[in-house]
Amino acid sequence: MGRHKREFTPRVRTTRPLGVVQTPNKAPSTPLAPPQKKDGEWFIEAPLAARLYQKSALGRIDSDGGCFLRNEEILFCHWHRHLPLPSEDWFNECVKEDPNVVARAVAFDVARSGGELVVPVENLPAKRGFVTAPTTWALRWNREQNFTKEAPVAHVRWAWTTDDVDWQELEAWTRQVTSDGMLAELFVIDEELDVTMYRLTHADISGNQRLWRDMKAAEQQQIQTQWGKRIPRGDGWYVPLTGPWPFTSLGIEHLSGRHLRAEEGRWLSCLISEEPIGNDLALYNDLMNRGVVLRPGFKYGSQWRIYDAAVGETHAPWLLLPVEQAPITWNAACLSVRLAEGVHKSWVCAFEIEKQWSYLQVQRWLPGR
């Protein structure tokens, strides 16, 4: 059986050949001089240096009016500013000395293709007083900003899809960046040398459901009486009902009764008996006390899907995994985020930090959106 005729046009993958200019702008009548070595770095003399720095935030300005370019900036200027490479074998030598120049060059080029100003932290003058985290690669300004006068909007870092994810460190970085009033952004480079951009935030998970402590004593007693009639089934319980079930965020209604999962039943038993909540229920307890509804997320590769209102009134805004179950590589993490966003949800990783729960949210992001 033959394949159906495809009606869509495949996306053209970006390539960046060396020696080929990518910009439609006309080349200068006098060819530009290539970067030269100075004090172990690549140097551009004035007046070209001033144009690159002042108009495009490229390079680190020198006292004599020239500027130093990092390797990724040389490649960007080669593609978009008609700048010759230092030599024919320059890039080969760069890769031998620093294999990650490939990732940085691709990320730098893609990030700037939309007009955003991405500036490596090594280029930032000390007098500006920027405080950056050790793992921050660059700062980003929006295209309409004046980078010499205005503060940046984001810290940027990058990773290969094959890199392991240190979720604890990533959460700490995000916390530091956002506490300074900036955005935390991550550029992930895949094996096709394509870039997917992510924005990291802390999700404000909350809902409008009634809490146990807000119920009247009569309602709590009614739930206790009904729970006392529970019948084990599988890992959970079936609670036959002859009246209403006041705790509507707990369990599902089916077969003229209420069905509670194992975690729901254990948690409810602790509430009724006023016993301490165990560590195995600490995350569940924190979420339930935020007034949300928790339903299994196995269809979406997560621990729970989380509703901020009654199921049936709204879609679940979040899919959540505790950090112990989170993907260990960016390849897997990107898959989880893509799956979540494919069903219009945000992917969240949960951490317990000094007896407080933190919810790191990872969302895809594109410049200009």
Residue 107 lies inside a defined structural domain of this protein = no
Residue 365 lies inside a defined structural domain of this protein = no
* CATH code for position 80: 3.40.1170
Q: Count Cβ atoms within 10 A of the Cβ of residue 308 and give its class: 0-12 exposed, 13-18 middle, 19 or more buried.
A: buried
**Domain span holding position 225:** 212-358
What are the per-10-residue average pLDDT scores of the chain (369 residues)? 61 74 81 94 95 94 92 95 95 96 96 90 80 88 91 96 96 95 96 95 97 96 97 96 94 95 98 96 98 96 97 95 97 96 97 94 85
Residue 46 lies inside a defined structural domain of this protein = yes
pLDDT given for residue 368 in this prediction: 63
Both tokens assigned to 131: 């405080």
pLDDT given for residue 125 in this prediction: 81
Residue 165 lies inside a defined structural domain of this protein = no
Tell me the CA end-to-end span of the chain in Å, nearest whole number: 42
Q: Whole-model pTM above 0.85? A: yes
Count of beta carbons in the 10 Å neighbourhood of residue 324: 10
* CATH code for position 282: 3.40.1350.10
106 backbone dihedrals φ, ψ, rounded to 5°: -65, -45
Q: Specify the pairing of strand 195-202 against strand 231-233.
A: unpaired
Contacts of residue 34, defined as CB under 8 A and 6 or more positions apart, other chains included, come to 83, 84, 85, 86, 87
Q: Give the integer Cα–Cα distance in Å for 144 and 141.
A: 8
pLDDT given for residue 11 in this prediction: 66
Residue 308 lies inside a defined structural domain of this protein = yes
Total structural domains in the chain?
Answer: 2
Residue 280 lies inside a defined structural domain of this protein = yes
Of the residues 98, 131, 166, the one at which a domain ends: 98
pLDDT given for residue 134 in this prediction: 84
DSSP reduced 3-state for 257: strand
Contacts of residue 126, defined as CB under 8 A and 6 or more positions apart, other chains included, come to none
Residue 182 lies inside a defined structural domain of this protein = no
Of the residues 98, 130, 150, the one at which a domain ends: 98
pLDDT given for residue 22 in this prediction: 76
Buried (b) or exposed (e) across 54-86, using 16+ Cβ within 10 A? eebbbbbbbeeebbbbbbbbbbbbbbbbebebb
Residue 3 lies inside a defined structural domain of this protein = no
DSSP reduced 3-state for 280: helix
Of the residues 67, 98, 129, the one at which a domain ends: 98
Same structural domain for residues 94 and 220?
no
Same structural domain for residues 219 and 347?
yes
